[in-house]
Structure 1
């Protein structure tokens, strides 16, 4: 076989395999059942199993009842055969059985120990022994072997006068009982079909209501986008676990909506904050182009303004990058052991040198050692002190206290400024957020300071407590874990 023919056969085989896989996938998709259909089939299977067990118990109970009733009504005959036969010869036993058959409503067959026919001489209509030995069920439950012929057998083992072993089998006619049983089974079958219809109808209606929240969830998930994040799942029709699922998804959409709003506000605020320095830079660049080449004063003014705005933009970008690293949990901390009181004292002295318009009062508790990133803690403290300075009128006091509370060391920065309105209190740590009173350019800043301070404190497993009263001042208390000795 040439290589070309081999390649052709391989290509045909590959196409055939693909065709078989495609047919298999198509059949799988067509046979794929929904959860609702599978639950319906499971309920039907359970209902059928219960109905089958009920029918089996009923039939067995009925057969046992029939057997007991027949045996009780013929108890005298059953007890008399062994007593009467054992004193008779073979001929007398045959005559006795013949007479007994004529006087009662049952058939009789007698077998020797070798399973040969003893009475009657001709073979009986039913070869009972052959039927009984057909399988293990008939062997252990002989009365079942004859229900096909509507007969109930009763075995009696005895001996005759010459010592010969004999098995006498009485066949009672139970056709009346059999017809009644078939009628009862027929009624049960009708009841089963009626119950199946009710189960399917009511079950389908009930499952449709139960799974309605899932369809609503699917529809909401497909249709939800940034234009309609206010859509929610109706939980009034849901019950049990599905109601909990719908509520959970609604809460998730709430968080997504809130996060999207924050992102929109963040982008808007960044654009707004960058617009001003960019406009300043463009203005001074144009002024340089027109007059700065020949006028040294204009040149120096432009250079100073450009440098200042470039520094502002750098501070903004660095603040944003710091918060982004905090969000991604990638901040690197250079922790070391130091006394918090010493650091706060050093920062306050710097503030007193720079800020002559406020009075700084402080109280320190010694040995407030923590294990933290020194530079970040300094940055955090400067943010709170800078905030206190910005919003406290000239001549007023700024109080700083360092102490210990439980397993935390704390720094409390309290001012006598404008305070924070109650409606603004929950938002002061959001990025670019500034209360209405602080949105003027007199205070400056981009509204990132408290967000950065909060991120630093959280990175150190600390917490922040804020107390404020409008027009009287605010207190920011920072808690940081004390280093274990």
Structure 2
């Protein structure tokens, strides 16, 4: 019975429940009227007349207050009582039927916006998430639901667009080294008199392409495991030591550009996973080198605050245009495609930085000005 009730439309369920309430209310009111008449009217009649039985004739004698005797068999009184009861029941049924019909009609009117909303929602599919529901001017529940649904569509559309960009960028990043490897193999297979030097050159090219593919795959694995607890945060990581190691590794590569650096972290430490934190800071400092100006500088500052540990990484580089700042942590996002090709990279570096920092419970913010530099602020909880 309950399953059948649940299969009905909302309009019919409201109508049935209201009809039940009407029946119970009308029945109770009718019963109260009949009982009230029984208790009130009949005693009043009995007070105005006296009823006795004539032993001689076997009839009934009604005697009024003026002692006038009248024979009466009470038929009019019984008829009036029966008519009253029947009228009350019929009135109850009429009220129930009319009330149920009105409820069905009114609920249909009230639920019409919900039906229209359902129809609009049914017309939206995954191939086109740009459609939006028509928002009403009223501030009722339907209007609130419509607004919430449109906001959900905004988030879904953005997520789908990011997924499409991710798929296209991943395919491009994987396709380029594969194409290079295939071209080298074809050159060797066509050339009948290939020299040892040509073989060595192609092997070196293929090795470089394989390294690039491996790096992209490893980066994607880090991003894919952002919600997994594969590595426990189980050691103290001292900032000054980790930054010194990173600069010792990167400085020789950019020594010809005359970029200087400074580290001011005292004895500040973090509790986490050293390899992951090293990878995050390495990516940030490598970007600070890549996009810095000739004879520029990189400043690292670490301090303990009331909320935890704060790390500032600031450079004097080319900066990031304001319109790109909201997207720089997106997977495969590049501020400038031509600039990215000149400096190499897959567009995964900052995405990995954000993933690692968030895995440690932290947050990262960025501020930048064109031709003035970029500053990353990283905050870790205690």
Alignment TM-score > 0.5, same fold: yes
The reply to whether residue 477 of structure 1 matches residue 374 of structure 2 is no
Structure 1: any 5+ residue segments left out of the alignment?
1-24, 75-105, 110-118, 127-150, 152-170
Q: Distance in 2 between matches of 1:281 and 1:344?
A: 36
Given that 1:412 and 1:477 are in contact with CA atoms closer than 8 Å, whether structure 2 keeps it comes out as: yes
Q: In structure 2, what is the equivalent of residue 45 of structure 1? A: 20
Q: Distance in 2 between matches of 1:395 and 1:324?
A: 38
CA shift for structure 1 position 403: 1.6
Q: Distance in 2 between matches of 1:240 and 1:122?
A: 77
Q: In structure 1, what is the equivalent of residue 51 of structure 2? A: 107
The reply to whether residue 120 of structure 1 matches residue 23 of structure 2 is no
Aligned residue for 1:478, secondary structure, equals: strand
Aligned residue for 2:342, secondary structure, equals: coil
Q: In structure 2, what is the equivalent of residue 12 of structure 1? A: none
CA shift for structure 1 position 123: 5.6
Aligned residue for 1:225, secondary structure, equals: coil
Task: Work out which structure has the larger RCO, using CA pairs closer than 8 Å and 6 or more positions apart in sequence.
Answer: 2
Matched residues, number: 374
TM alignment of 1:219-238, pairs within 5 A:
219=119, 222-236=122-136
Structure 2: any 5+ residue segments left out of the alignment?
63-70
Q: In structure 2, what is the equivalent of residue 80 of structure 1? A: none
- 1:199-238 alpha-carbon deviations (Å, 9 max, x no partner): 2333222322444455456545655432232344445399
TM alignment of 1:9-408, pairs within 5 A:
33-73=8-48, 106-109=50-53, 120=55, 185=85, 188=88, 191-212=91-112, 214-216=114-116, 219=119, 222-236=122-136, 241=141, 243-291=143-191, 294-326=194-226, 328-333=227-232, 335-356=234-255, 357-408=257-308
Residue number among 309, 326, 329 corresponding to 1:409 in the alignment: 309
Q: Distance in 1 between matches of 2:233 and 2:33?
A: 82
Change in CA separation of 1:395 and 1:238 when aligned onto 2, cut-off 3 Å: same
Q: TM-score, with normalisation over the residues of structure 2?
A: 0.84
Q: In structure 2, what is the equivalent of residue 433 of structure 1? A: 333
Q: TM-score, with normalisation over the residues of structure 1?
A: 0.67
Q: CA RMSD in A?
A: 3.5
Bigger Cα Rg: 1
